[in-house]
Structure 1
């Protein structure tokens, strides 16, 4: 007698594995201290964390739509953070070269989000990360100091996902995930830049009368930053009106002044009232330095020089 038995193999899968389900979080993006007077760009990044479950081996396309944030955008290339009524321009990108703007189907500009994707493993789950690249453009010198912020939440950030082999993120397609919230922030600190133009008294045969010449100090400070400009006593540490240009042990006495009449000496904190005050505007402010060589005994012929250190305190 033959006994025929067919053994039925079966497997159990949770129903949730048949449909895709994804969740997302985004880290805050902090630019730290930003030097708006510099022409250099300030870069940083944020990270998207992705967790999905679904059909084994079935590709899930993820579209992370990022609109303008609460700071808005002044153009297709400039999102904004705000500190009160003051704006700081920045941008979000999908590439490390920071050339492709990360956008959304739901904003006024052409840029769209990059195509992200996860494929569930044999357990029906998948995880991954993606990087958002941020940049604050240099040369925003008229931006005042402060803490600048833009928030992405609600309608400003929308994650959509769907089963597909395609890579289009140009429309509102797919299931909408719970919206993550993240912030973009930067701190603009008070800062100053300084440049100078030397003073050349030229050639003089005999020092029997005043010899006048001028130079310049150019100061660029962030708006509303109070500052003072001081000039030290040169290599000999002399008082403002009796500084010394030298050639070996021989010297020529000269003075530096704040006014064209050469009545207001320009010195440093060691001489009260001799410094020059200012308030930053974000653009260069030029101060004339008035020099004078008074009549004096004429030393031997040659080139006489001195080095004066300009200090901007803010």
Structure 2
């Protein structure tokens, strides 16, 4: 009789141990968190606009639990350890363009790391009621800093700038806890590593130019027995490294080598010419009929080019105001 009771007690103890075993947390490798980061592209950038350029990417974070877990909450912290200021580097070159990545759309919180005492991107995930895995999507934001007009292109064409994150520049840390009892912990307290995060930030710097011009206003004259001179200015701004050409058309005469101003409200004309040099040796035109266009290479900053206008001595037509409309075109 006593032996039967002893066997019954042992059986109950075994059942109890089995139940307790199912309530214990799974081994560390069974509960893991991983993340993937989409690359961020800022698209086409024209530095001479001096404007900031924004972009965004997505982080997908996945955590797994055992079927029964005493730690149903997971904290995941994504560290960006890359040094600041962060730069995109010209493909095949050394030129750089400053930018940064942020956790907020207002670009006020730079994506940082606990190691640098800055703020990593973090997310908290809960074990689902059904299943053992859940995924959260987070948007991160990027901005190319404004006022970088001298960022160059290469070989007079669109140029890719990029920053590829890998290795020690990124890290993922995570930890599981029971909300309200053992946590929540902070990112700096996490000790389990989920590896690094590989992604790329990129932008394409494109050639671009702006152009403006002031008028050439000759002095009033009663007779045209001697030459009259006046100047005007063309202002151009082109991407650094961008070769450009500025041409002037023939105006109302449609002749770059024989320009004329026409009497307002009439048909009388006054001949004149525009030169690119103070010695009046090089007529500024489109490269035809003995004229030359002005060429240069952009620096990213504005550059000024003087137009030298001359009305040579000639027969004086009837009095009045004489004008011509000339179009300046910049090619790049």
Normalised to the residue count of structure 2, the TM-score between the two structures is 0.80
CA distance in 2, matches of 1:272, 1:16: 87
What are the within-5 Å matches in structure 2 for residues 212-231 of structure 1? 212-231=229-248
How large is the RMSD of aligned CA atoms in angstroms? 2.7
- Alpha-carbon offset, residue 37 of structure 1: 1.0
1:241, 1:265 within 8 Å by CA — same for their partners in 2? Answer: no
Per-residue CA distance 1:200-239 (angstroms, 9 max, x = gap): 2243333332111111112222223222111111243222
1:238, 1:244 within 8 Å by CA — same for their partners in 2? Answer: no
Establish whether residue 152 from structure 1 lines up as the match of residue 162 from structure 2.
Answer: no
- Alpha-carbon offset, residue 290 of structure 1: 0.3
Establish whether residue 210 from structure 1 lines up as the match of residue 254 from structure 2.
Answer: no
SS at match of 1:37: helix
Cα distance change, pair 302–120 in 1 and its aligned pair in 2 (3 A)? farther
Gap regions ≥5 residues in structure 2: 1-15, 154-158, 178-182
Which residue is equivalent to 1:116? 123
Establish whether residue 284 from structure 1 lines up as the match of residue 302 from structure 2.
Answer: yes
Which residue is equivalent to 2:133? 125
Cα distance change, pair 95–273 in 1 and its aligned pair in 2 (3 A)? same
Cα distance change, pair 15–60 in 1 and its aligned pair in 2 (3 A)? closer
- Alpha-carbon offset, residue 163 of structure 1: 3.1
2:50, 2:149 within 8 Å by CA — same for their partners in 1? Answer: no
Establish whether residue 136 from structure 1 lines up as the match of residue 136 from structure 2.
Answer: no
- Alpha-carbon offset, residue 182 of structure 1: 0.6
CA distance in 2, matches of 1:45, 1:14: 41
1:23, 1:50 within 8 Å by CA — same for their partners in 2? Answer: yes
Gap regions ≥5 residues in structure 1: 1-7
1:191, 1:222 within 8 Å by CA — same for their partners in 2? Answer: yes
SS at match of 2:168: helix
Which residue is equivalent to 2:87? 80
- Alpha-carbon offset, residue 93 of structure 1: 0.9
Which residue is equivalent to 1:50? 61
1:20, 1:162 within 8 Å by CA — same for their partners in 2? Answer: no
SS at match of 1:212: strand
CA distance in 1, matches of 2:238, 2:36: 39
CA distance in 2, matches of 1:246, 1:22: 81
Establish whether residue 303 from structure 1 lines up as the match of residue 321 from structure 2.
Answer: yes
- Alpha-carbon offset, residue 272 of structure 1: 5.4
2:87, 2:98 within 8 Å by CA — same for their partners in 1? Answer: yes
Cα distance change, pair 166–193 in 1 and its aligned pair in 2 (3 A)? farther
Establish whether residue 294 from structure 1 lines up as the match of residue 312 from structure 2.
Answer: yes
- Alpha-carbon offset, residue 186 of structure 1: 1.5
2:257, 2:290 within 8 Å by CA — same for their partners in 1? Answer: no
- Give the greater-gyration-radius structure (CA): 2
Which residue is equivalent to 2:110? 101
- Alpha-carbon offset, residue 89 of structure 1: 0.8
Per-residue CA distance 1:276-296 (angstroms, 9 max, x = gap): 111222222221110112233
Establish whether residue 37 from structure 1 lines up as the match of residue 48 from structure 2.
Answer: yes
Count of residues in Structure 1 that have an aligned counterpart in Structure 2: 296
Which residue is equivalent to 2:78? 64
Out of 274, 290, 296, the position equivalent to 2:292 is 274
